[in-house]
Amino acid sequence: MNASTIARLSLALLALPAHHASAQQAVADSIRYQAERFIGALASRDIDQFVSLFMPDPDFIYVDAGRIYPDRAALRAAGAGFFGRIKTFKATWNPVKIVVTGPDAGAFTGVMQVTGADTTGAVIWPNGKIWTLVYQRRGGQWWIVQAHEANVPPPRAAAPVVPAARP
C-alpha cells in the first residue's frame, strides 16, 4: 500500500462517524418536523387531520391517562368531542427530547405549552401536556406508531418553612 492509498483510507474512515452523526441528525430533524405537524393538526380543530398522523395498521396504540385506544377508529371516537370544543389553539414544544433509534425510527418526548381555549372559554391544558410519540418511517412516510399523553400537574405548593429547633 502506498502513502496515498493509506491517506485516502484514513480520510474515509474518519468520515464514517460524521456521516453517522449527520444521518442521525437528519432523522431527528424529520421527527421534530412531524411533532410540529402534530401541533398543527390539533390547531386545525380537524379530528381527521389529527388521526391521519397515526399508523393505520395493528402496530398503532395510543394511551391517554390510562385509557388505551387500540386503533384510529377508537382514537377518532374518543377525540371528536374535544376537537369540536376547541375555539383557539396555539402551542409550542418546550422542553423536547428526541431519541433516534434507527434510520427510520425514533421517539419524541415533549411538553406542549398551550395558549388556547375551548368554546366555553375554559383554558386548554393550563399547565401543559406531555406527549411521547414513537415515529416510524414506512414506505417513505412518517407515522406515529405509539403515543402516550399526560397532563402536566399543577405546581406543588411550597413546603412550609419550619424554624430550626432551639437547643
Q: What is the pLDDT of residue 143?
A: 98
Higher pLDDT, 45 or 13: 45
Position 136 in a domain? yes
Position 142 in a domain? yes
Residue 14 has pLDDT above 90, yes or no: no
Helix (H) or strand (E) holding 64: strand 61-64
Q: What is the pLDDT of residue 19?
A: 54
Position 11 in a domain? no
**Count of the separate structural domains present in the chain:** 1
Q: What is the pLDDT of residue 4?
A: 54
Residue 58 has pLDDT above 50, yes or no: yes
Determine the Cα–Cα distance for residues 122 and 129; give it in Å rounded to an integer.
15
Position 7 in a domain? no
Position 6 in a domain? no
Residue 12 has pLDDT above 50, yes or no: no
Position 63 in a domain? yes
pLDDT digits (tens, 9 = 90+) for 121-151: 999 999 999 999 999 999 999 999 999 999 9
Task: For the chain, give the mean pLDDT.
Answer: 89
> DSSP string of 82-130?
HHHHEEEEEEEEEEEEEEEEETTEEEEEEEEEEEEEETTSPBSSTT-EE
What CATH number did the domain enclosing 108 receive?
3.10.450.50
- pTM, 2 dp: 0.81
For residue 136, give its domain range: 18-151
Position 160 in a domain? no
Position 163 in a domain? no
